[in-house]
């Protein structure tokens, strides 16, 4: 379905929520809003093929409609189970239906839950695809530590985020290019402005050095940006 959630003027704009309305148009929204999204999802399959270990869990945290879960399952090692977790019931119910249509190497289980409270089992691949930015900043360190502790030696975390930049010129340049990207994909100035307002108190970005330092402090041996398009990118961290 076409995303026109913010097409009409609103007297009051509340905080963005991953509700039924968003779930209905999410594939169109993400395609038109996040540069490089499809490339990142495809590469997650490649990371899974390289790093998944037999009989471990593969976690897709904040799985939305299960795009990464499907890709991970396609390349999972023998005996793996892909577990997608999301705190939006609307996303979970749709994801469960979607993943039924795809076959892979293992089992996919989509569950409703808060990833900050979840107890992880031994895992070899964990994905946070544009999710940490929606987690309260004071909870991020603890979540990264739990993920690192759950990963087997040599396991990988793929962390995709909207980045913030300390250099004001770089920040403004990449912000403007992202704006142009959304306009080129058919969003009006009104839609862009209203959605930005709705996300203002919900999406809180970190700088890349903050991400890398957090990952190293939480137990990862190696961490680096592997992909970036404008102010969106992805980091891999290896235990």
Structural domains of the chain, count: 1
Q: Is 196 labelled as part of a ligand binding site?
A: yes
Range of the domain at 77: 1-239
Task: Report whether pLDDT(105) > 90.
Answer: no
Provide the pLDDT for residue 103: 78
Provide the pLDDT for residue 104: 78
Q: Is 87 labelled as part of a ligand binding site?
A: yes
- Between 106 and 75, the higher pLDDT residue: 75
The DSSP string of 24-47 is HHHHHHHHHHSTTHHHHHHHHHHH
Q: What is the pTM (predicted TM-score) of this model? A: 0.97
Query: What's 172's domain CATH number?
Result: 3.40.50.150
Long-range pairs for 95-99: beta carbons < 8 A, 24 or more residues apart: 95/63, 95/64, 95/65, 95/66, 95/69, 96/66, 98/65, 98/66, 98/70, 99/66, 99/69, 99/70, 99/73
Q: Is 19 labelled as part of a ligand binding site?
A: no
Q: Is 94 labelled as part of a ligand binding site?
A: no
Q: Is 45 labelled as part of a ligand binding site?
A: no
Cβ neighbours around 69 below 10 Å, total: 29
Q: Is 64 labelled as part of a ligand binding site?
A: yes
Backbone torsions φ then ψ of 226, nearest 5 degrees: -110, -15
- pLDDT by residue (tens digit) across 131-161? 999 999 999 999 999 999 999 999 999 999 9
Bridge pairing between strands 232-238 and 222-229: antiparallel
Q: Is 193 labelled as part of a ligand binding site?
A: no
Provide the pLDDT for residue 102: 87
What is the chain's mean pLDDT, rounded?
97
Provide the 8-state DSSP code for 133.
G
């Amino acid at each position: 379905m076409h995303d026109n959630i913010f097409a009409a003027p609103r007297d009051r704009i509340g905080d963005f929520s991953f509700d039924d309305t968003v779930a209905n148009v999410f594939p169109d929204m993400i395609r038109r809003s996040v540069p490089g999204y499809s490339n990142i999802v495809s590469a997650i399959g490649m990371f899974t093929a390289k790093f998944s270990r037999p009989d471990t869990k593969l976690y897709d945290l904040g799985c939305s409609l299960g795009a990464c879960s499907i890709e991970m399952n396609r390349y999972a090692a023998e005996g793996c189970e892909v577990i997608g977790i999301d705190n939006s019931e609307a996303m979970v119910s749709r994801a469960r239906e979607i993943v039924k249509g795809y076959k892979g190497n293992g089992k996919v289980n989509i569950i409703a839950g808060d990833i900050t409270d979840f107890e992880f089992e031994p895992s070899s691949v964990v994905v946070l695809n544009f999710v940490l930015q929606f987690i309260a900043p004071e909870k991020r360190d603890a979540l990264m530590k739990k993920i690192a502790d759950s990963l087997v030696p040599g396991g990988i975390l793929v962390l995709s985020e909207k980045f913030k930049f300390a250099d004001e010129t770089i920040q403004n340049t990449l912000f403007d290019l992202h704006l142009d990207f959304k306009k080129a994909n058919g969003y009006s100035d009104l839609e862009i402005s209203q959605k930005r307002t709705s996300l203002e108190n919900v999406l809180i970005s970190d700088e890349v050095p903050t991400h890398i330092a957090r990952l190293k402090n939480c137990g990862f041996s190696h961490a680096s940006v592997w992909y970036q398009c404008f102010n969106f990118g992805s980091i891999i961290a290896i235990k």
